[in-house]
Amino acid sequence: MIVRSKAPLRISFCGGGTDVSPYMEERGGVVLSATIDKYAFASLRFRNDQNITVQSLDYDIVAKYHVDDDLEYNGELDLVKAVLRNMCDGNKQGLDFFMHSDAPPGSGLGSSSTVVVALIGLIKHWQRLPLTSYELADLAYRIERVDLKIKGGMQDQYAAVFGGFNFIEFGRNSAIVNPLRIETDIINELQYNLLLCYTGRTRLSANIITTQVDNYVRKEAEVVAAMDELKDITIDMKNALLQGRLDDFGALLNDAWKNKKKMAKQITSSSIDMLYETAREHGALGGKILGAGGGGYLLLYCPFDRKHIIAEQLEKRGGQVVEFTFDYHGLQTWEVRP
């Protein structure tokens, strides 16, 4: 038997950064996001011995272990090791893991966290573990942020597990996922007007988040004010989306981007600014870099009669326009029997 899983990557419209400690514990955070048809995939195959192999197609790495090995965190496939240490302690079954993602790490779509969710989903399915969606997302968060001490927020794990359009509230080590009931016509129109552009470079989000956290801990007035304003904008964007005020939604993306850039200097760059200003000059109402910033994907809201022009201008300047649709299912697992 083979067990497979897939978990969707996400677009964060607004609020990213307010889901990071210690801001979320002290002031509370909110994020508006939606999952898309780009995925992290994982497969689990059973062996007749007590060896464990892990093959990452993204990194072109194959690692081999024994079930009794002490899986030391050394920078190679630590996400997999952490999942195994948390969920397979005492396991004597030989296993083969295969993983790949539709977007590279550092792209701003939450790919690393989504891989962890996909791996946990495999083992949950195999062992028939009675984990709720909240428990699964929280475990993914703890593995990545507590065990491995990788800097980042809470939104990615919950988006990947639940899927769809969500308004997520963050408090002291907790999250509440509020699924949004949006009319189909509004979603179709939003899809029609959004443009996703790869900037051509990835970045290490942990470095940017470290700077952001340090700025907040020092209580830099501009940073704290920008994060508080982002929360208000996130609520306004959620309301605009539910009510179908999509031009307002696009304009709020621009307001959010202005505030996000105040949180850390590395969030933007000359090349990102060039692409964003090009889009604005040709009619985009607003947009933002996804994830922590510094590279990855640029999301833009464009009037329908300007979208093709904006896409053409971005590609002339080195951007890569990527087609996508929204995903509503969240984490999925299934079995393949020969």
- Above pLDDT 90, what percent of the chain? 81
Give the active site residues: 156
The Cα–Cα gap between 112 and 105 comes to: 6
Judging by DSSP bridges, how do beta strands 51-56 and 95-101 pair with one another?
A: parallel
Q: What is the pLDDT of residues 200-215, one digit of tens each?
A: 877 666 678 889 899 9
184-324 CATH: 3.30.70.890
Where are the domain boundaries for CATH 3.30.70.890 in the chain? 184-324
Q: Which is nearest to 281 in space by CA: 302, 295, 259, 296? A: 302
Where are the domain boundaries for CATH 3.30.230.10 in the chain? 2-181+327-336
Lookup result for tokens 């495999």 = 122
User: 114-128, 268-282, 288-302: which has the minimum mean pLDDT?
Assistant: 288-302
The Cα–Cα gap between 196 and 324 comes to: 8
Specify which of 74-78, 82-86, 208-212 reaches the highest per-range mean pLDDT: 82-86
The Cα–Cα gap between 98 and 120 comes to: 13
| pLDDT tier for residue 13 given thresholds of 50, 70 and 90 | very high
2-181+327-336 CATH: 3.30.230.10
Q: Rounded to 5 degrees, what are φ and ψ at 40?
A: -100, 130
Q: What average pLDDT is seen over the chain?
A: 93
The Cα–Cα gap between 111 and 9 comes to: 6
